Structure 1
């Protein structure tokens, strides 16, 4: 290992400062004089996108999203995924993966809910540690995000999350703490938002006192993209790296701040040392390999994604409907049947090697001749993307004037511009563009044309202005809150007759992220007859499979949901199909809970999330019994949105008011909230059915010296009493008695996933440490175990637990180390 301090000594101040901000969007500058290579990063966390835009680019493997990983309750599997992702990162010529996302699922409407693991901090922490270990054991740095308090996408770049210290320590910081202490995390990304009034990127208490001081973190702390807002404040607070480049707040500004005595040279050395440490750990420090990206479609990664997708699937209802024998006549119905919903939207999206839809999965397993299909209804948020050749002309002004300086061709009508635009021939924040192409309608009908833009835009069809997002452009909930909401116009078109599409675009000032974008969609609306057709098809088959849910248009970074009802007419579709066929099975693909007014009328329900590029194969494997539905809910499904802990009549609680979001529920989030208020959820935390049955044996609790040591071990035998191989999750909750309502009725503290063959038994051992009984004493600034009784409860979901022991702490313990 090179002596990093000697290397820093050899640098000029300017060279040191150069390493504290990106050179471009995805890399740091090299210092060739000292043989210091480039450190390159890539977006994650459910794949490695590489250096391309949010759309297109080099193809990559798409793994299951965060909430799907959460549903596996399997840290070992997550470590396996982390190791595979390390290979993906290397194929993109990078050293750092921007993941995992380990914010807590505070609400059921968070647009980024899909990217997070769980509503529970301990489950999130265990899975995060597995991910980090798997990734970093192969020399790729993880970057846990977003530190901290980013539990909503509404005004996330300006809002302040108001969170008391106890809730921070016990809930929102715990996964980051465990990733540092248990997994040796090398990287942290600060959140966009403020925490208690201070931007996370310049929050000295969070970065220096807690992260580095209390937890001993020695890795790199980087800003989210464009999430750094100052020079002196961020550097002195502990932020090592400003991203992306070129720099906005560092460079010469930081050099001058050092010369003026506003930032100490020793502080610069500390920040540089953190960068060099990660470079050394990942092999980037002395690397001079030329940058290259590959689309490696690895068979072993295909198999892992398929396996993980099945293990993430949660069977929520089964009235002797599943597994299917494969001999039934099957109707494949719904908006997600022939569309492979494999991932959420935003910075986590990538260009997958392929997408397997549920229809494709069943066709491969049973033969397409054995299936019937009906779409039934749509569930898109935006009009379906216009896919036709388009000539795109760029102008180096915002008025579409003069001759274009660059012309190219695109295959579809969505363009996202970040950084380099038109091969550098226009300024990224000051240009205009004209898109011209033909659309050939398939039917004679009134078409709906949708236009969305981060910037000004207008759309003409055959010379007629159809959609205007220019004249009265208003910021909405698209493109990370940089774009307008969709403007939809109608136009009558004739089948087979080409219609000329002309779109004009011009930049406008960005609020925070330096992003420009445009999207055009077109469709013919489906009517009532589509639902009637689906019901008629369902009535003629043995089984009706309805593939419903959302997509990455709804579950996306930069936009929270407005409700958790299924979009469009999907509820009506499910109800109609269920009336037509009593053996109706619904397969949900969403990034979180949904309301289900039809739940009593269907025979089966599977939550499949967004399981990656093998989606249809994994879903077919589970429904046909080739794989066990291995998932258990990592987030409670409420009966209705208003039951959620963050739902309030006061907008300060959610979505925020006057620049603040108050976490008034404190530590009572998720199942803790439902327990406290006696609210029965639709499906509880930890719940999931198997294709087999299990019996939990009599637990043995070892805690002879509990009063002095506050440790315990629980052992029990689990037996598969059914006739199929299957899995269950043994969950242990600690339940403090007589806490005066100041502590949750129960808190998950340990769990174990058990996979057993028919008739097989296995032994589970769950260890409890002093921290598992402690609460954070905000006044004393430390962890404390209060005197009293602690019930230990065991079960297979949060609502089905039984007390197996009561442990007594006779004396109030002193403060524990942070």
Structure 2
């Protein structure tokens, strides 16, 4: 690799650090022809090659690519090979490019498999299933010629107002870290590099506004926002994407303490750091010009820019003495190392002419994940549904597929026979169904409420499906990075859609009220992408379910739960606020001496970990034993004392007490899913190590410190009387 680096000119090295050209502008589809564009040719000429190319196969309203003009899935490998061949044969460097694509819940390309969003993944608490699905996605990506997947997973959901809440696994760092580790390991073992995002603390933005500053102390940053990032490093992740926000005033994309100090010096990680798109040019509010911005980021440890001018003028920064050739070589060497690791610097077989695509196995796994992610919050004897029930299925999300898919989703094929909504799935189950939308997400429909009343009057049970949507429209106004820029009443989640209110919208409440007033039992279903405040909506419901955007098979998954074909097993991965402004609400906030708000109560919050099944379970800690200085073993017995076979997630909660540090209310220490028949029991052994028993020191490393850890298995927020104490020595 050093030989390659030594022969590259400055122009060619800068070319390896740039990711300037939108991939969808590199190739044109004209009938049966795939044509390399003049834009691609100019980019190759200007820099003697292209280090990485983002979004060749991306399709969505922002890119303007759809089934009429995008790359067909069956030709995606051919398209990648054509572009790669042109770059290698026509660049002075002769180096191949890295093909980079968004895959936050499946590939954002035509025909790409679409999975439940991360918030749904978090609700399933199932590392093994997540790993299986990640491997399926990686096989698909690899077959299409893609080298690097951009995956969300590092953002912690600390504010329900944030529009990108759906991209978070959880508010709890332990749950997020386990899911990140499972995903990264599975995808990279299958041959696709992962760039995990966003580093760091983007979920802690002031006011829940995307990209706003995160005014955090060192301990809070490491304990909450860097735990999942550390898990990714331990899994050997190929790269990180620096977040848009600043941490205590220092932009993440130019934060040397973070990108070099933490990642490389403290953790000993080796890989690339990529900017988020246009992030480096945003440094102009703190630097005099593009060359200074590029120098600031490069010296901080950022290797690949993203549609910025700042790295185009690195030669100017070098001439002005803002950077050295050593800085350029160091970043370029990292990029080449990743290409070597992914097999691009040695002859490799071309990707298959016919990509694997979405397999039958992937479909089944996605439906299983969607089903496991459904959280039953209340059930006053209404569920499962009786087979003879006549149903009124109403509400804006009752029959709207796009409102199940989440942000960063490519257009679905038309027709789309493998997809389902709550309405269509219940009809397939054989139920007589009357349907009325009732309202839009934030707008009334003339006669909508009256139609709901009529449908419910003629039925036995009302299924009221409300929530939110990350639907992007082709006529939407977009910011330079693809976030929605203008107001859109139909899009209430997603990047650029931060909300000051998180309660179910009043027009949707009117639909629920109309159903309740009809005097029939009401099953409320929330399909959404953020922690909604459900207090008012729940007041109209006899049973209540929460389903974070479950994907195209979400209707079938929810119907499986409603009918009792499967017992629900999801647990909330976040805390649902009891009302507006009652935050922070995370279950692992520090214990406080304040009394809270005079006009609101935290008692209405629905805690992380909440989730019912159609059976009953009893969990008991049998023993907790220290086995070494930083190791312990907790044995738990779990019994299915009910009448239904069910999957059940056994949580181990805890509270760490460290001398001189205010403790948190509660944290996830560990968890284990089990499947038990009625009357069956199982013993679970939780083996705890430094990750569970330790604390973060001033260098950002885990160490043991004098104190103790209280652990328990009930869903109490505070240690119950049967909690068990594990002493920890420094």
TM-score (norm: length of structure 2)? 0.80
**Aligned twin of 1:695:** 618
Alignment of 1:428-507 (within 5 A): none
Alignment of 1:318-333 (within 5 A): 318-333=379-394
**Aligned twin of 1:211:** 263
RMSD, aligned CA = 2.7
Q: Establish whether residue 605 from structure 1 lines up as the match of residue 544 from structure 2.
A: yes
SS across alignment from 1:284 = coil
1:362 to 426, 429, 435: 426
**Aligned twin of 2:286:** none
1:684 to 595, 607, 612: 607
**Aligned twin of 2:35:** none
Conserved 8 A contact 2:117-2:549: yes
1:39 to 76, 91, 98: 98
Cα distance in 2 for residues equivalent to 1:800 and 1:164: 26
> What is the Cα deviation at residue 319 of structure 1?
0.9
Distance 1:704 1:187, change over 3 A: closer
SS across alignment from 1:106 = coil
2:566 to 611, 619, 627: 627
**Aligned twin of 1:518:** none
Distance 1:166 1:763, change over 3 A: same
> What is the Cα deviation at residue 102 of structure 1?
2.1
Cα distance in 1 for residues equivalent to 2:615 and 2:718: 20
Cα distance in 1 for residues equivalent to 2:353 and 2:264: 35
Q: Establish whether residue 375 from structure 1 lines up as the match of residue 437 from structure 2.
A: yes
Conserved 8 A contact 2:621-2:712: no
**Structure 2 residues without counterparts, runs of 5 or longer:** 24-49, 53-86, 282-292, 471-490, 597-601
Cα distance in 2 for residues equivalent to 1:799 and 1:599: 25
Alignment of 1:387-786 (within 5 A): 526-527=445-446, 529-552=447-470, 553-595=491-533, 596-645=535-584, 669-672=586-589, 679-703=602-626, 705=628, 709-737=629-657, 742-778=662-698, 783-786=702-705
Conserved 8 A contact 2:591-2:663: no
> What is the Cα deviation at residue 631 of structure 1?
0.9
SS across alignment from 1:19 = helix
2:6 to 2, 5, 9: 9
Distance 1:134 1:796, change over 3 A: farther
Cα distance in 2 for residues equivalent to 1:124 and 1:774: 18
Q: Establish whether residue 275 from structure 1 lines up as the match of residue 192 from structure 2.
A: no
Cα distance in 2 for residues equivalent to 1:737 and 1:8: 51
Larger strand proportion of the pair: 1
Cα distance in 1 for residues equivalent to 2:210 and 2:439: 36
Aligned length: 624
SS across alignment from 2:97 = coil
Q: Establish whether residue 311 from structure 1 lines up as the match of residue 363 from structure 2.
A: no
Alignment of 1:223-262 (within 5 A): 223-229=275-281, 230-244=293-307, 248-251=309-312, 253-262=313-322
SS across alignment from 1:642 = coil
Cα distance in 1 for residues equivalent to 2:350 and 2:361: 26
Cα distance in 2 for residues equivalent to 1:726 and 1:280: 46
Cα distance in 1 for residues equivalent to 2:260 and 2:697: 20
Conserved 8 A contact 2:404-2:550: yes
Distance 1:704 1:161, change over 3 A: closer
Conserved 8 A contact 2:213-2:247: yes
Cα distance in 2 for residues equivalent to 1:174 and 1:624: 39
Bigger mean CA deviation after superposition, 788-797 or 115-124: 788-797
SS across alignment from 2:581 = helix
Q: Deviations over 1:487-521 (max 9, x none)?
A: xxxxxxxxxxxxxxxxxxxxxxxxxxxxxxxxxxx
Cα distance in 2 for residues equivalent to 1:190 and 1:683: 32
SS across alignment from 2:98 = coil
SS across alignment from 2:565 = coil
Conserved 8 A contact 2:117-2:406: no
> What is the Cα deviation at residue 687 of structure 1?
0.8
> What is the Cα deviation at residue 570 of structure 1?
1.1
> What is the Cα deviation at residue 278 of structure 1?
2.1
Alignment of 1:103-252 (within 5 A): 103-151=155-203, 152=205, 159-181=212-234, 183-229=235-281, 230-244=293-307, 248-251=309-312
Bigger mean CA deviation after superposition, 611-620 or 273-282: 273-282
Cα distance in 2 for residues equivalent to 1:606 and 1:530: 23
> What is the Cα deviation at residue 674 of structure 1?
8.1
Cα distance in 1 for residues equivalent to 2:657 and 2:310: 52
SS across alignment from 2:162 = coil
TM-score (norm: length of structure 1)? 0.72
SS across alignment from 1:142 = strand
Conserved 8 A contact 1:341-1:615: no
Distance 1:636 1:364, change over 3 A: same
> What is the Cα deviation at residue 37 of structure 1?
1.5
Conserved 8 A contact 1:39-1:285: no
Cα distance in 1 for residues equivalent to 2:646 and 2:464: 25
SS across alignment from 2:201 = coil
SS across alignment from 1:356 = coil
**Aligned twin of 2:83:** none
Conserved 8 A contact 2:658-2:706: no
Cα distance in 2 for residues equivalent to 1:293 and 1:249: 39
**Aligned twin of 1:265:** 325
Distance 1:606 1:156, change over 3 A: closer
**Aligned twin of 1:22:** 19
Conserved 8 A contact 1:577-1:584: yes
Cα distance in 2 for residues equivalent to 1:179 and 1:290: 27
**Structure 1 residues without counterparts, runs of 5 or longer:** 51-57, 382-524, 647-668, 814-818
Conserved 8 A contact 1:139-1:281: no
> What is the Cα deviation at residue 34 of structure 1?
5.8
Distance 1:549 1:157, change over 3 A: closer
Cα distance in 1 for residues equivalent to 2:372 and 2:186: 18
> What is the Cα deviation at residue 64 of structure 1?
0.3
**Aligned twin of 2:714:** 795
Conserved 8 A contact 2:633-2:686: yes
> What is the Cα deviation at residue 317 of structure 1?
0.5
Alignment of 1:52-63 (within 5 A): 58-63=110-115
Distance 1:204 1:801, change over 3 A: same
Cα distance in 2 for residues equivalent to 1:203 and 1:292: 42
SS across alignment from 1:639 = coil
Q: Deviations over 1:227-277 (max 9, x none)?
A: 123221111111010013xx51224x2234335543233322221222122
**Aligned twin of 1:49:** 108
